[in-house]
């Protein structure tokens, strides 16, 4: 299951770097595409994750009672104060731009599954694939306009 998570994270990061190379986040003094898996990061301040796609995972389950296909739900949360400082009058436009970036980064909706514990990474011989993001309505929290999208990933488990 970890290879599925890593593959999806790396795929979204690489695609976001193409869709919007300016959407980056500074982590430990290094600029990266603004896609983070919270389970992989040291605790972050809420303001450090503005304008960043934050991934969290739910438990895996079998897609069908018979057969090896499994699924895993990924919640992607993101929010913005806007780009014009304290005025915050363009939060909706910035959030809509992030919606578009997420949708573009999710297409095509598959990627070859890799083992990223190896350098260079190693192909595992199967693909992961996923649904289109199901976007919830935006909410405002302390002046930040936020949205959560859910994506269901399908994968075949790694065989030891």
Residue 53's nearest CA partner among 77, 21, 30 is: 77
Domain count along the chain = 1
Q: What is the CATH number of the domain that holds 109?
A: 3.30.2000
- CB burial of 34-44 (b: ≥16 within 10 Å; e: otherwise) equals bbbbeeeeeee
Structural domain contains residue 88: yes
pLDDT the model gives residue 8: 98
Q: Copy the structure tokens of residue 43.
A: 């605790």
In terms of DSSP H, where are the helices of 20-158? 91-105
Structural domain contains residue 160: no
Q: What is the span of the domain harbouring residue 31? A: 2-155
pLDDT the model gives residue 82: 84
Cβ atoms 124, 114 nearer than 8 A: yes
Q: How do the pLDDT tens digits run along the chain, 160 residues long?
A: 999 999 999 999 999 999 999 999 988 888 999 999 988 887 765 556 789 999 999 988 999 999 999 999 999 999 998 887 666 678 999 999 999 999 999 999 999 999 999 899 999 999 999 999 999 999 999 889 999 999 999 999 977 5
Structural domain contains residue 140: yes
Q: What end-to-end distance do the CA atoms of the chain give, in Å?
A: 12
Cα–Cα dist 53/118, whole Å: 25
pLDDT the model gives residue 48: 64
pTM of the model: 0.91
Give, as one character, the DSSP assignment of residue 160: -
Q: Copy the structure tokens of residue 115.
A: 């083992």
Structural domain contains residue 79: yes
- Residue keyed to tokens 């500074």: 26
Query: C-alpha distances in angstroms, 2 versus 43, 79, 137?
Result: 20, 26, 30
pLDDT the model gives residue 87: 62
């Amino acid at each position: 299951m970890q290879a599925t998570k890593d593959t999806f994270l790396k795929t979204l990061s690489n695609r976001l770097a193409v869709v919007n190379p300016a959407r980056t986040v500074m982590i430990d003094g290094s600029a990266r595409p603004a896609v983070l898996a919270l389970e992989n990061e040291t605790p972050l301040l809420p303001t450090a994750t503005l304008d960043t796609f934050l991934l969290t995972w739910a438990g895996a389950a079998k897609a069908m009672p018979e057969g090896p296909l499994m699924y895993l739900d990924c919640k992607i949360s993101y929010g913005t104060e806007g780009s014009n400082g304290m005025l915050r009058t363009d939060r909706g436009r910035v959030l809509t731009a992030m919606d578009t970036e997420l949708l573009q980064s999710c297409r095509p909706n598959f990627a070859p599954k890799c083992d990223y514990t190896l350098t260079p990474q190693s192909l595992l011989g199967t693909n992961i694939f996923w649904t289109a993001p199901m976007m919830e309505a935006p909410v405002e929290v302390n002046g930040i306009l936020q949205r959560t999208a859910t994506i269901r990933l399908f994968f075949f488990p790694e065989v030891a």
